[in-house]
Amino acid sequence: MIVGEMAGLLAAGVAAGVVSTVVSLASIVSYPALLAFGLPPLTANVTNTVALMFTAVGAAAGSRPELAGQGPRVLRLGWITALGGAAGAALLLATPSRTFEQIAPWLIGGASLLLVRPPRTGRHSEHGLLMRLAMFAVAVYIGYFGAAGGILMFAVLSTVIEQSAAHVNAVKNVLSGLANCVAAIGFALFGPVDWAAALPLAAGFLIGGWIGPAIARRVPGQGLRYLAAACGLAVAAKLGYDAYAS
């Protein structure tokens, strides 16, 4: 890979890392960039997942104020998302993706609409079985398909974390990152990762993930939800068209 291509992937990674931490849509930047540089779809998907785990590292470093005191919650929920990410990666390597491609637009669209629902006084418990199953299902989706998975995670966490959108976003970045990390390990061992592309993209993700939280905390709480919801609906429409028009 020539220097210009590496610089291009680094820049794409920075942009995708910022987009990931703010509105959870890294793959709409990084995945097309990998395709544009000539990677086949499956190789682009697994390479993107391997590089994407560095967004969580950068986001955690940039979100220290929002993550203060969140350690116990991350520990309680992190093992669920890690297990789900592993299951999703195994599914991707073992099964065709057509079914998930058809379901994904409905999941993303529904989660996006949940983000703009009127606020409720009551909250679900993060210890509840239904909530944990939802977290596991989202993590499976992140490990398997990934596009807008952070929006699904943000929507689920919004029902249990009674804090600002920036705080919910910070926890989302870490938990989504755990699912990505476990999936990335599986892909690194058993998938067709293009390491020449993964390394500059990962460096960009690390930088963008560190920058993103500073932007997210300056967006008004409800504004962040509306922005994420609008982007999620746009992605749902695009994925729906791709899945059902072909």
Contact 244, 98 (CB under 8 A): no
CA distance to 122, 151, 173, 187, per residue, from 222 (Å): 18, 14, 18, 36
Contact 56, 109 (CB under 8 A): no
Structure tokens that stand for 183 in this block: 């999936």
Q: What does the pLDDT read at residue 36?
A: 84
User: Residue 123 is which amino acid?
Assistant: R
- Which of 14, 28, 234 is closest to 145 using CA atoms? 28
User: Residue 65 is which amino acid?
Assistant: P
Distance CA 140, CA 142 (A): 5
Contact 112, 151 (CB under 8 A): yes
Q: What does the pLDDT read at residue 121?
A: 46
* pLDDT under 50: residue ranges of the chain: 121
Domain limits, the chain = 3-245
CA 187 to chain centre: 16
User: Residue 87 is which amino acid?
Assistant: A
Distance CA 243, CA 246 (A): 6
Structure tokens that stand for 193 in this block: 């990762």
Q: What does the pLDDT read at residue 30?
A: 84
